[in-house]
Structure 1
Amino acid sequence: MSDPSGGSETTTGPSLVFEGTTAPHTLADDVLGILTGTFAASLGLHLLHASEAVTGGTAGLSLLLGYATPWPFWVLFAVINIPFAVLAVVKKGWDFTIRTVICIALVSGFALVHETFFAIERLQPLYGTLAGNLLAGIGMLILFRHGGSVGGIHVVGLLIQERTGVRAGWTLMLFDVLVILIALLVVPWPNVLMSAAGAVLLNLVLALNHRPGRYIGR
């Protein structure tokens, strides 16, 4: 900042602009980040469940099966995602897999906490669907940035891409479309339309933020 008297520039305080150097996460950063990400994602899924909506991925499949069976969401989410986490050993290695298993367990655990302490008696479905997907997307984004995930079909998509050349994105899109379409058999069609819009919102959150150049913390 220039001195009004004509002197040389002086430093007035820390800048809010990030410097170009990277700052690797510490263990404390990762622990807090994973706790925050799993809490946000599970809260988003809790709102979706209260809205009788679904979303893409294995989270949407878990919600869907929760509506069609007496099994609670937190059990279904853990059971469905564990096989995908095991596949991650092949694709991502043990560090990523261990973090993923921890994230799956935390999301399931927090889902039980929300179910116990945050009972929702009345929620406008459109609001709950959009807010739920937004929170879930933010939570997943935080987890990605701390080297974790909540399992999911993306691991299968990567394996199919390696063996057949079919892009992983197409596999993910096909799975999401199938979940949304199957939901027509379980929930009212207006909820399915809202679910489709919410799934688009979730993927926009990830697509716009989870890409090279957007983050320098890892």
Structure 2
Amino acid sequence: MHMLDSEKRRDDRPLATERTIPHSPPEDVLGVLTGTFLAALGLYLLQEAEAVTGGTAGLALLLTYATPLSFGWLFVLVNLPFFLLALWKKGWRFTLKTLVSVSIVSVFSEMNEFLLPIPDINPIYGIVAGNLLLGVALLIVFRHGSSLGGFNVLALIAQEQFHLRAGYVQMSLDLVVILLALTVMAPSGVVLSAAGAVVLNIVLAFNHRPGRYRA
């Protein structure tokens, strides 16, 4: 009986004991390109829906409604202070990947305006679809050792050093950005944006957990 129990425990042993296979450099490159493309597309849908989301992406979107600058430039500018934080807490490799990811999102964002004109979009559809795309994009870039800067860096640090869920940390910070949107947006637009930010962070909270993925 004890022998059967021992065999069962061995068979049911969690995957933590299995040898992990890291991503190869080509896989990282393709993963980051895929994630940044989806992120730029999601942010473009949000911009066309005249909505905001959380994080530095949300701040950049917010500033596009209040200044003549484009999202691509603003996204890089608002992320500059967080690159220093990433370098301090996460090292040069993660920081370099994040810098590259942010830069690619900015380039893709500028391209979307020319290659994908959207004359009209339902705000609810744009907000839900945009945040879903952004959530999936974040999962992809996280899995490949990068981020989209800003609050993503803070959320990852909180998860790794304080064992807090990245999605929940990001949700709290995002609410601050959403509230700031009241200064330049109608309350109805802010409410829809808040609902969209919840969708994004639910995607992260349910799918990005320490130890769940091994690659």
Q: TM-score interval w.r.t. the shorter chain?
A: 0.7 to 0.9
CA 1:214–1:59: 2 relative to 1, 3 Å: same
8 Å contact kept, 2:170–2:201: no
Partner of 1:69: 67
On the 8 A contact 1:44/1:136 being kept in 2, the answer is yes
Question: Hey, which of these two has a bigger chunk of helix by percent?
Answer: 2
CA distance in 2, matches of 1:34, 1:151: 13
Partner of 2:148: 150
- Count residues in correspondence: 196
Q: Which residue of 1 aligns with 2:85?
A: 87
Give me the whole-angstrom Cα distance separating, in 2, the residues matched to 1:39 and 1:132: 12
Task: For structure 1, list consecutive stretches of 5 or more residues without a partner in the other structure.
Answer: 1-19
Aligned residues of 1:154 and 1:168 also touching (Cα < 8 A): no
Q: How far off is 1:23 after superposition?
A: 2.1
2:137 partner letter: G
1:30 and 2:4 correspond: no
For the structure 1 residues 160 and 25, does the alpha-carbon distance in structure 2 shift closer, same or farther, using more than 3 Å as the test?
Answer: closer
Residues 1-48 of structure 1, C-alpha deviation per residue, up to 9 Å, x if partnerless? xxxxxxxxxxxxxxxxxxx54221111100000000000011000000
For 1:190 and 1:84, locate their aligned partners in 2 and report how far apart those are by CA, in whole Å.
31
**Which protein is bigger by CA-based radius of gyration?**
1
Maintained 8 Å contact 1:51/1:125: yes
TM-aligned CA deviation for residue 154 of structure 1 = 4.5
- SS where residue 91 of structure 1 aligns? helix
CA distance in 2, matches of 1:58, 1:106: 15
Seen in structure 2, the aligned counterparts of structure 1 residues 142 and 195 have a Cα distance that, compared at 3 Å, is same
Coordinate RMSD, CA, aligned:
2.4
Superposition TM-score, scaled by structure 1 size: 0.82
Partner residue of 2:198?
Answer: 200
Secondary structure of the structure 2 residue equivalent to 1:93: helix
Counterpart in the other structure of 2:3: none
The correspondence of residues 36-185 of structure 1 with structure 2, limited to 5 A, is 36-156=34-154, 172-185=170-183
Distance in 1 between residues matched to 2:87 and 2:211, nearest whole Å? 27
**Contact (CA 8 Å) 2:64, 2:70: kept in 1 or not?**
yes
How many angstroms does 1:172 deviate by? 4.2
Cα distance change, pair 155–30 in 1 and its aligned pair in 2 (3 A): closer
Within 1, Cα distance between the matches of 2:153 and 2:142? 14
